[in-house]
Amino acid sequence: MSSSSVHVERPAVGFVRELGRFGDFPALITPGETVTYRELAERVERGASRLGGTRRLVLVAGTNEIDLIVTYLSALFAGHPVLLAPGDNPDSLEALIAAYRPDVVVRSADGRTVVEEVRECSAHLLHPDLALLLSTSGSTGSPKLVRLSHRNVQANAESIAEYLDIQGTDRAVTTLPMHYCYGLSVIHSHLLRGAALILTPHSVTDPGFWDLFKAHRGTSFAGVPYTFDLLDRIGFDELDLPDLRYITQAGGRLAPDRVRAFADLGRRRGWDLFVMYGQTEATARMAYLPPELAATDPQSIGRPIPGGSFRLEPVADAPDGAGELIYAGPNVMLGYAHTPDDLRLGDTLGGELRTGDLARQTGDGLYEVVGRRSRFAKVFGLRIDLQHVESALAQHGLTACCAGGTDELIVAVQNCGDVDTVRHATARASGLPAAAIRVCPVDELPRTSTGKPDLRAVAELAHASEPPPAAQSTTDPDTDAVRALYADILRCTHVTDDSTFVSLGGDSLSYVRMSLRLEEMLGYLPENWHTTRVGDFAPAPRPRRRWRTVETNVLLRAVAIVLIAGSHIHLFTVLGGAHVLLGIAGYNFARFHLGAAERTDRVRHTLGSVARIAVPSMVWIGSVIALTGDYRITSAFLLNGILGPDGWSAEWRYWFVEAIVYIVLAAAAVLSIPLVDRIERRHPFWFAMGFVALGLLTRYGLVDVDDSRNRILSASVVFWLFALGWAAAKSTTIWHRLCVTAVVVATVPGFFFGETRREIIVVGGLCLLVWFRSVPCPTMLSRVAGVLASASLYIYLTHFQVYLPLRDDHPWLALVLSILVGVLYWQAVTFVLGLRRRPGAVRTKSDRNPIASMFGSNQAVAAGKQLPARRHTH
């Protein structure tokens, strides 16, 4: 039977019949092939002939490949209803095949398109208007499908092409799956207008994606909110895309500040941002926000698409001025299908769709979605707005997705550093007790193939995680042992399976001791163990080794304190360690103080950490002054950096402690500003690099400081090294690390008045910190390094009074005693703190300060470099 005779009386989607009118314009583009509209029309007609004249249910496992798109269009051309299934999810595909028993199955296998004709005639009664079946958002693989008519598909393609003003010269790259209504609408609307589609399976994070985009002069692409997160990661704002005309966003709410930021970027770069709103039930789109309004109304979904309209239906418990958003238009689905029997049904909705979203209309006629009726959960009788909770957590820089359990609220949090902080923030937002909230830390939120949060997978996380704190398990002896270890070292009794080292108030000094003990217990040291839940630790699946991994900053701290003391005793002279430790101070500041905690908690923890540095220092220095009178009283209050004396003197031995105290106090003051806090959470790496740039102003003298007070020892001058360590901790990509390394190599040389060896040590130490999180080390050496690193602050404070009487006659004894006295002072301070936080006592937030992680590594090095014989270098 010829193609023409097959289709002459068969209803079909209009634009599919008219593909040939665009002639030799490109339609489908891949790296290896370009198909013109003339060729596409011919292939579609041939494919329609192969599918035959008997109307059947055709399942197409959709992928962004030429043959699959041609087969999909062929089925629409011939009037066969198409069930578009995910081509990248075999389980979902098989589930749909089992549920709907399609007559024809089309899929890609080993690079070939395979057409499997299950039966010659349809096993189903198919309504004449039925054109397309799509899974609803979040239900991929579910038997529940959206039934779309030929009119639905055509009308939606026309309205989208109209408000986007799609032209024949446009070329859109495929960023979304074909089986997803948003991705499919891009295909439909561009084929309607004779525009080209650039087909690629690559993600926007793949450099090959952008090479293809530029090579074929791409003019647009589509993204869901997760796509925009990925764009941030790759430095999209720095890409040169001269032909880009517009970007579209849908598939979920993009935060208003992100909308405003991308709209502003587009304005500067010459492209538009279209924020859109839609549902599969409306074929794809229902509303769009004109680009010129994105900066002023970023929270809005905009106005209805051409041919559509909205109304608000009152809802009893909706916020003031809000109601359920009802949409009407020719793109509204026929209805749902739950079983094959539903394929016989016609229009059951009458062209009107209840979106389930709560919205309000603004004074200028725009619409704003404020919640969702179905995104509520009842926990302990309270009705919880899950979207509101997620938005509240987003204000704290947390990417989260919530689901309701039978007696708890489940919160999946991406890159969660402090479980307790998240739990209490969720409690405040929801009104639930903290014990009713289960926090499930994840590396990445579970998402569907379309990039949306997978709500079903979030709910299932509860079954895979430990019980909440109120129902803590005590049956796993390994977990019990870890809890006991945490309670012992951190002096607390409220350790739960959800606790982490950071959430319990761990710091750099206890960090070292804990890492060694934990590795001994487990047989290995897990990566990022300090932010790992206690309940997630597991014994090593391999035998114990004679070598361990020691974190680079710990090893550097241990080496530095030995070099400082040894240099002062004149056993050797190795300078530069103090300034390396400034970098380590910034590194640990970023790790322990810039987590997910609220802004006020961050500041409180930081001030507590400063106290952990300053108080032991002031006590020791004050005692030395009282007994010997060696220093001015300003030393006891760490004020030499402000009050002098000018030039080198004995008081400047403690310059490093003062520098760290000043720098961290300044950082705390800046981060206490709400706007600054939000910026740091949104762009942690580039925020740190901004501080590096500020530090370079004083490093190069662009902002004058008082050189008479030992320039290379002044906090305002050495601050850039602290900021470099901060940036190193926030480096998440190779490019970030290369950027930090480049700044280190470019800015350290010349700072130490031509002391090349010192500059090499500083550059080398900082680069080790950037590139190596840990290094292998013999077990015995790792233990020694742990003790030295833990006691480094105290060794630094005490060694001046120990080595001076012994340096000339017994230098090695002076070194040993300097270390021993420092370790004893460390134990004494630890004992006093243990009395204050003894087991059984209730710890307040002020007790749980991430310790002077910065100092444990840095303090020691600093003073040691400045020997009297080298005074002229300062």
pLDDT at position 537: 73
Task: Tell me the two tokens of residue 362.
Answer: 């603004």
Inter-residue contact 261 to 252 (CB < 8 Å): no
Tokens at 662, concatenated: 């000043």
49 is written with which tokens? 């002939």
Take residue 406 and report the two structure tokens written for it.
């039978």
DSSP assigned state of 871 = G
**Please, what are the domains in the chain?**
3-367 (3.40.50.12780), 375-471 (3.30.300.30), 552-873 (no CATH)
Q: What is the mean pLDDT of the chain?
A: 82
Element holding 58 (H helix, E strand): strand 58-62
Taking only the tens place, the pLDDT of each residue in 630-656 is: 888 888 888 887 887 766 677 778 888
Contact partners, residue 619, CB within 8 Å, separation at least 6: none
Taking 90 as the threshold, does the pLDDT of residue 273 lie above it? yes
Joined tokens for residue 76: 């629409």
Strand-pairing partners, residue 313, are: 324
520: Cβ–Cβ under 8 A, 6 or more apart, which residues?
none
Phi, psi of 628 (to 5 degrees): -120, -20
pLDDT tens-digit readout, 417-470: 778 888 888 888 887 777 678 888 888 888 776 677 777 778 777 655 544 433
Tens-place pLDDT, residues 473-506 = 333 445 767 777 777 676 665 677 767 776 666 6
What is the full DSSP assignment across 508-539?
Answer: HHHHHHHHHHHHHHHSS--TTGGGS-GGG---
* Short-list 462, 527, 536, CA closest to 499: 536
User: What is the mean predicted confidence (pLDDT) over 714-727?
Assistant: 91
Task: Give the position of tokens 């290379």.
Answer: 712
CB 411 within 8 A of CB 400: yes
Report whether 587 contacts 725 (CB < 8 A): yes
Amino acid 542 reads: R
Check residue 719 and give its pLDDT: 92
| pLDDT confidence of residue 781 | 81
Mean pLDDT of 369-385: 69
Token code pair at residue 410: 């489940």
To the nearest 5 percent, what fractions of the chain are helix, strand and coil?
50, 15, 35
pLDDT in tens, 124-144: 999 999 999 998 754 444 578
User: Could you tell me which residues are beta bridge partners of residue 412?
Assistant: 401, 440
Region for 23 from its dihedrals, namely left if φ exceeds 0, alpha if ψ lies in -120 to 50, beta otherwise: left
Measured CA to CA, the distance from residue 766 to residue 567 in angstroms comes to: 20
What confidence category does residue 550 fall into, taking pLDDT thresholds of 50, 70 and 90? confident
What's the rounded Cα separation, in Å, for the pair 262 and 271? 10
What are the angstrom distances between the C-alpha of 103 and each of 56, 57, 60, 67, 138? Answer: 6, 5, 11, 19, 26
Terminus-to-terminus CA distance in the chain, angstroms? 94
pLDDT of residue 547: 64
pLDDT interval class at 77 (50, 70, 90): very high
Residue type at position 827: Q
Look at 288-302, 305-319, 336-350 and tell me which has the smallest mean pLDDT: 305-319
- 543 has a pLDDT exceeding 50: no
Q: How far is CA 675 from CA 604, 670, 681, 689, 803, in A?
A: 18, 10, 10, 17, 49
CB within 8 A of 276, min separation 6: which ones?
248, 249, 250, 285, 287, 288, 289, 301, 302
The half-sphere exposure of 130 on its side-chain side, counting CA atoms within 13 A, is 28
- State the Cα–Cα distance between residues 226 and 414, nearest whole angstrom: 12
Q: What is the pTM of this model?
A: 0.51
Per-residue pLDDT of 790-818, as tens digits, reads 888 888 888 888 888 888 888 889 889 98
pLDDT of residue 67 exceeding 80: yes
Q: Regarding beta strands 246-249 and 220-223, do their DSSP bridges make them parallel or antiparallel, or are they unpaired?
A: parallel
3-state SS track over 719-751: HHHHHHHHHHHCCCCHHHHHHHHHHHHHHCCCC
User: Rounded to an integer, what distance in angstroms lies between the CA atom of residue 792 and that of residue 556?
Assistant: 11
Three-class SS of residue 69? Answer: helix
Is the bond preceding residue 645 a cis peptide, omega within 30 degrees?
yes
Percent of the chain with pLDDT over 90: 38
Q: What's the pLDDT at 511?
A: 67
Task: Supply φ then ψ for residue 117, to 5 degrees.
Answer: -90, 105
Q: What is the CA radius of gyration of the chain?
A: 32
Measured distance CA(368)–CA(362) in Å, rounded: 7
